[in-house]
């Protein structure tokens, strides 16, 4: 594929995935389509480029005082990662817009050092007295924390101390994605122990962060339940037959987050991330997993690996990665599973409900 066709292919992928992510942020389809219709390229600095067009739309929303709407536009401007100055600037504008929106809503900001960088969080319900059970929300490899932070007021009303943060290398998380990256979750629990009941921690970890959550849950008994959507487990990292089907935008993003110089180097490094059956059997807590029947990123073979988990339920939607066409049903199922497992007050007896209705 020559450079021109490669560039056109990238723009086509960007537009396809942007519609899905726009929907996930509550952006009206006609709003997203209107912005996308004005984008003709992904060349740095071009007036009709991806990043500048989305950035202008975000600035227009901000001028109208619609800070959360502006934040969603800036998140798409830096999509899929902040790999150039315009995208990096859009990422900062998104954080600033959310910072304005959160005022008066009981949401605080945290910045924590770890390993080779820092991670930032938005949080609610953290307090030394009357510590609440902890819920950590983390998005995938292209999702900034501001996309999920509007959930915080609801989670606070449900009685949680809730923290929203980012996957290594995404947004304000400056860590490198490594096989031991799941340790950042335990580090976060350590840092929050005096302001939340971390011995009763739930993880709502989406896509690739679900992989981190499963690895952490195998080691840290304070993690009492894991809820995830479209998480890679083992096959994604090791199945060479699946690789040609993975979107280039996913591979490029993973190169950015891991520091791999190209796709070959990426595939040499990724098998070290895989969780095998023995590791998964150590996850002795409820795992609730949303799968997508037409997932273009995560192979169906992952569901076979999930079957070794002592307590697992899988809800499958006929959809693509992340089930964007079923957001309402997916969120209701995840929330109900979170509350049901907490109400049980103890670890559930093992179950193998791999096609939950």
pLDDT at site 348: 46
pLDDT confidence band for 8 (50 / 70 / 90): low
Of 125, 73, 79, the residue nearest 98 (C-alpha): 73
From residue 249, give the alpha-carbon distance in Å to each of 11, 187, 229, 256: 10, 30, 19, 11
- The predicted model gives 294-302 an average pLDDT of 94
Contact 164, 123 (CB under 8 A): yes
pLDDT at site 325: 84
pLDDT confidence band for 1 (50 / 70 / 90): very low
Q: DSSP class of residue 130?
A: S
The string of pLDDT tens digits covering residues 77-135 is 999 998 899 999 999 999 999 999 999 999 999 999 998 899 999 999 999 998 999 99
* CA–CA distance, 205 with 211 (Å, rounded to integer): 8
The string of pLDDT tens digits covering residues 204-254 is 999 999 999 999 999 999 999 999 999 999 999 999 999 999 999 999 999
pTM of the model: 0.91
The string of pLDDT tens digits covering residues 128-156 is 998 999 999 999 999 999 998 888 999 99
Helices (H), the chain: 3-24, 29-37, 50-63, 67-77, 85-101, 152-157, 183-192, 208-217, 235-238, 248-258, 263-269, 277-281, 301-306, 327-344
Q: In the chain, what are the domain boundaries?
A: 3-98, 108-353
pLDDT confidence band for 350 (50 / 70 / 90): very low
Q: What is the CATH topology of the domain spanning 108-353?
A: Rossmann fold (3.40.50)
């Amino acid at each position: 594929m020559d450079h021109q066709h490669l560039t056109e292919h990238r723009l086509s992928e960007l537009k396809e995935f942007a519609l899905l992510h726009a929907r996930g942020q509550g952006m009206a389809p006609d709003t997203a389509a209107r912005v996308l219709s004005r984008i003709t390229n992904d060349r740095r600095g071009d007036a009709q480029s991806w990043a500048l067009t989305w950035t202008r739309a975000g600035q227009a929303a901000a001028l109208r005082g619609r800070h959360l709407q502006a934040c969603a536009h800036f998140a798409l401007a830096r999509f899929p990662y902040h790999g150039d100055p315009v995208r990096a600037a859009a990422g900062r504008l998104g954080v600033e817009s959310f910072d304005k929106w959160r005022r008066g809503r009981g949401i605080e900001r945290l910045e924590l050092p770890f390993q080779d960088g820092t991670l930032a969080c938005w949080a609610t319900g953290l307090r030394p007295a009357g510590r609440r059970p902890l819920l950590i929300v983390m998005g995938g490899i292209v999702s900034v924390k501001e996309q999920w932070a509007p959930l915080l007021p609801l989670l606070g009303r449900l009685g949680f101390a809730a923290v929203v943060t980012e996957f290594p290398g995404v947004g304000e998380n400056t860590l490198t994605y490594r096989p031991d990256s799941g340790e950042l979750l335990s580090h976060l629990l350590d840092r929050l122990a005096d302001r939340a009941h971390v011995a009763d921690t739930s993880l709502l970890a989406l896509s690739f962060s679900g992989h981190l959550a499963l690895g952490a849950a195998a080691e840290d008994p304070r993690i009492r339940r894991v809820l995830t959507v479209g998480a890679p487990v083992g096959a994604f990292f090791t199945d060479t037959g699946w690789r040609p089907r993975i979107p280039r935008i996913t591979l490029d993003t993973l190169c950015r987050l891991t520091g791999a110089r190209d796709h070959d180097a990426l595939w040499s490094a990724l098998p070290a991330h895989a969780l095998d059956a023995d590791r998964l059997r150590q996850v002795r807590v409820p795992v609730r997993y949303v799968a997508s029947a037409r997932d273009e990123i995560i192979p169906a073979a992952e569901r076979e690996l999930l079957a070794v988990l002592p307590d697992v339920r899988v809800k499958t939607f006929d959809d693509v990665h992340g089930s964007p066409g079923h957001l309402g049903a997916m969120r209701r199922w995840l929330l109900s599973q979170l509350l049901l497992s907490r109400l049980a007050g103890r670890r559930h007896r093992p179950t193998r409900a791999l096609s939950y209705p």
